[in-house]
Every structure is written in C-alpha cells, then in structure tokens.
C-alpha cells in the first residue's frame, strides 16, 4: 500500500500506480463461493458456450472489486471511499492479466470534507478497455 496522500499534495492529473491482477478460474470459483454468485458462465465452460459466450468470463462484480482495490490502495489507510462505479463494457477472461489505471480528475472541498474524483479504467492483456468507472474519495488534510 502506498503512503498516505494528503489533499493539499494531490493534483488533478496525478496517476495511480497501475494495479495488475491475474484472475484464474480458481479465483472465479473462490469469488463465486464468497459472493454467492454461482452462475455457471463463470466456471462451467460448456454452460458458458451454451449461452452464446465464447468461454468463461470474469464476474463483473470481481472487476468492480479490482477497481475498488486500486482506489483503496491509492487513498491510503485514512482515505475514505465515498463513491465508486463500474461499467462493464467488454468481457474479460480468466488467465489474462488485467491492469487497473486511475487518474485524479477533480478536487474540491465541501462541508469541511476534502474530496477527490478519480477516473478508473481496467484494461485487458490486449489493451482493450473493458471496464470503466469513477470514484470519489475523501482525503485527510496535512
């Protein structure tokens, strides 16, 4: 986890250290177990193909968790996540390397709270932008 970023230091245009994730079919099974999402497209190849998919796909909500990890790593131990969104624009497959990028797009203060907006995107190993999102984080003041 990175050092604690402070509101005064953070600037629009600052980028997160990219987060790399290496989801496997095993991770999808683990995620199915903890999330309760046992839809077979995530671990049963024959079933996935019967629904018109090319193969197994990663749970969208797991990609949402990856975006959230990128933000919570960046915001440090006393930053607070206020909002996060994820739109699944393309499907991702186990065995690929996914990279999550984040960039500060806005900073403002309201009611004594120091807020920062970040644009998020997840790229597949081929460089396709398969998930986009946004987060709002409250950062401590120096």
Partner 1 sequence: MTQDSLITPAMQQALGSVVATEVADVERGAIRRFAEAIEDPNPLYVDESAAHASGYRDVIAPPTFFRSLRTATPSMPDEAKAPRLLDGGSAWEYFEPVCAGDHITLVTTVESLTERAGRLGKMLFIVYTTEYSNQDGRPVAVQRNTIIRY
Residues of this chain that interact with partner 1 (CB under 8 A) are 1, 21, 27, 30-31, 33-37, 39, 51-52, 59-62, 64-66, 68-69, 71-73, 77-78, 80-88, 133
Cβ atoms within 10 Å, residue 81: 13
DSSP letter string, 21-45: E---HHHHHHHHHHH----GGGT-H
Q: How far is the CB of 90 from partner 1 (least distance, A)?
A: 11
Q: How far is the CB of 48 from partner 1 (least distance, A)?
A: 10
Task: Say if CB 25 and CB 43 are below 8 A apart.
Answer: yes
- Of the candidates 21, 20, 16, 61, which has an alpha carbon nearest to the alpha carbon of residue 42? 61
Q: How far is the CB of 31 from partner 1 (least distance, A)?
A: 5
Nearer to partner 1, 66 or 107 (CB): 66
State the Cα–Cα distance between residues 26 and 9, nearest whole angstrom: 40
Nearer to partner 1, 13 or 113 (CB): 113
Q: How far is the CB of 87 from partner 1 (least distance, A)?
A: 4
Q: What single DSSP character describes residue 56?
A: -
Nearer to partner 1, 14 or 140 (CB): 140
Nearer to partner 1, 11 or 90 (CB): 90
């Amino acid at each position: 986890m990175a050092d604690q970023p402070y509101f005064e230091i953070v600037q629009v245009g600052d980028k997160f250290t990219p987060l790399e994730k290496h989801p496997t079919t095993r991770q999808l099974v683990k995620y199915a177990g903890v999330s309760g999402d046992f839809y077979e497209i995530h671990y049963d190849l024959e079933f996935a193909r019967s629904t018109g998919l090319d193969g197994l796909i990663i749970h969208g909500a797991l990609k949402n968790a990856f975006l959230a990890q990128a933000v919570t790593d960046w915001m440090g131990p006393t930053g607070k996540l206020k909002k996060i969104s994820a739109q699944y624009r393309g499907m991702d497959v186990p065995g690929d390397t996914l990279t999550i990028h984040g960039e500060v797009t806005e900073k403002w203060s309201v009611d004594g709270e120091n807020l920062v907006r970040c644009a998020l995107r997840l790229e597949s190993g081929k460089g396709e932008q398969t998930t986009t999102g946004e987060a709002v984080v409250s950062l401590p003041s120096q």
